[in-house]
Chain A
Amino acid sequence: MNDVLDVALRLLIVFAVFMLVPLVVGQAEHKVMAHMQGRLGPMYAGGFHGWAQLAADGVKFVQKEDIVPAQADRRVFQLAPAVALLPYLLVLVAIPIGPGEGAVGQVVDAGIFFVLAVMGVGVLGSLMAGWASANKFSLLGGLRTAAQLLAYELPMLLAAASVAMAAGTVSLPGILNAFEWWWLPWQIVGALVFFVAGLAELQRPPFDMPVADSEIIFGAYTEYTGLRFALFLLAEYAGIVVLCGLTTVLFLGGWHGPLGADGLGWVWTLLKTAVLAFVVIWLRVSYPRLREDQLQKLAWTVLIPLALAQIALTGIVKVAIN
């Protein structure tokens, strides 16, 4: 009976994190962007600095009419938001925020493998939406998404493989158990490659050409309204949480910190994740959008060679210290 309760509690917590933390990131984006641009951002909803703005947005989205264009491929069109969203929920269960079994949804033995594979499914939602909408802008957005996929997936895999080599395991808690502070400079190139590739996966600026609002309306999501559109947005912010959490766990030492008692490891994880999420928002405000071919060029002539060099470095150092 206790097992059942335990599992239920874990699922509940993972689900609550999945529902709440992306909203916190979203609200932070409203506020951080606004202040960086000399504005205030939402100030009304909820009273205190517009903290309830996203809740109000959610209420609005739920009440909006759900339009499926007459030309669209109805079932695929309706399912696409769920396909885009749910992989990030599944990834969250495997990310450890502290040491021990109690601080991770579920220890998945093939952690890195599982996480990268499941994250790769999310992009299918955008492709489904782009094709099923039967809209020229959506189709262009979908094609750009597909092109982007070819650019970011490989550097991401290679950078993650470098960490697996360093730790000698593919389990996420196992990697953190093996972590030493000097991994930080050792794996820094891999960390940058992973993070940049992750931004491209999330279609966040400067890699937001699949949704480029000034060129192709909103890419694959052009025809969506109401709840389904909201789920796509939620998927983007859940993606930020997952990417920043994974970068923290793989490259920044997760629950390890310069100080703090053993029980406070999760604070470090959350702090590092929050700082990375801030960087994601900061980059959106700071950089112009790349063209799709510029991303391909960046990926194949910079990111992949860098990732291969990181693997070589990791291999040499690892064998040398053994």
Chain B
Amino acid sequence: MRSVPESTVLASEYFESYSVVGLLAVVGVLFVAVAFGAGRLLRPVVPTPEKLLTYECGVDPVGEGWAHTQVRYYVYAFLYVIFAVDSIFLFPWATVFAAPGYGATTLVEMFIFLGFLAVGLLYAWKKGVLEWA
């Protein structure tokens, strides 16, 4: 059996904490299942066609339920995806950037990173993308 350095954390140990999270998820699913099951036993079931009609302020629904609508914010969606993927990288970096041996260099790197984000944002702003189309 090979010896493992003390500072090394085995993946199995690392993920042990998530087993409790997993158990809690099971508890949550059980809660919902029991609640829905109990609800089924407790509530009346008297469906009529009128009850099952789509609600549209009391008048008969017009056309299909899944209506056409204009999505006015798809450019925001692009911006959001780009920025969100970028900012995820901040977290692993945040844990080490001030560690001994990094210091000023990492700080400059951070400003380059922030500069990219800021220029992107300013560009989008200037292009008028941040207006509701």
Contact = CB atoms under 8 A, between A and B. Distances in A.
The 3 closest A-B CB pairs, nearest first, are A134-B65, A293-B132, A70-B52
A161 B90 contact: yes
A137 B69 CA distance: 11
Contacts of B111: 312, 315
Contacts of B52: 67-70
A305 interface: yes
Nearest to B42: A62
Interface in A134-174: 134-137, 139-140, 143, 146-147, 150-151, 153-154, 157-158, 161, 164-165, 168-170
Given A69-B53, A134-B66, A315 B97 contact: yes
B8 interface: no
A244 interface: no
B90 A85 contact: no
A158 B85 CA distance: 11
Interface stretch (A104-112, A185-193, A256-264): A104-112
Contacts of A15: 24, 27, 31
Interface of A: 7, 10-11, 14-15, 62-72, 78, 81-82, 85-86, 89-90, 93-94, 105-109, 112-114, 131, 133-137, 139-140, 143, 146-147, 150-151, 153-154, 157-158, 161, 164-165, 168-170, 217, 222-223, 226-227, 231, 292-293, 296-297, 300-301, 304-305, 308, 311-312, 315-316, 318-319, 322
B94 A165 contact: yes
A105 B20 contact: yes
Contacts, number: 207
Contacts of B69: 139-140, 143
A168 B35 CA distance: 42
Q: Which of A14, A89, A146, A301 has the most CB of B within 10 A?
A: A89
B103 A227 contact: no
Contact of A297 (B35, B61, B98, B130): B130
Nearest to A158: B87
A78 B107 CA distance: 49
Contacts of B40: 66
Interface string B76-98: 11011001100110110011111
Contacts of A170: 91, 94-95
B67 A139 contact: yes
Contact of A223 (B54, B64, B94, B114): B54
Contact-residue bracket for chain B: 35 or more
B131 to A, nearest CB: 8
Contacts of B98: 165, 168, 318-319, 322
Contacts of A164: 90-91, 94-95
Nearest to A162: B94
B73 interface: yes
Nearest to B15: A109
Given A7-B20, A108-B17, A297-B130, A168 B32 contact: no
B31 to A, nearest CB: 7
B35 A143 contact: no
Nearest to A227: B39
Contacts of B56: 135-137
A312 B110 contact: yes
A304 B121 CA distance: 9
B4 interface: no
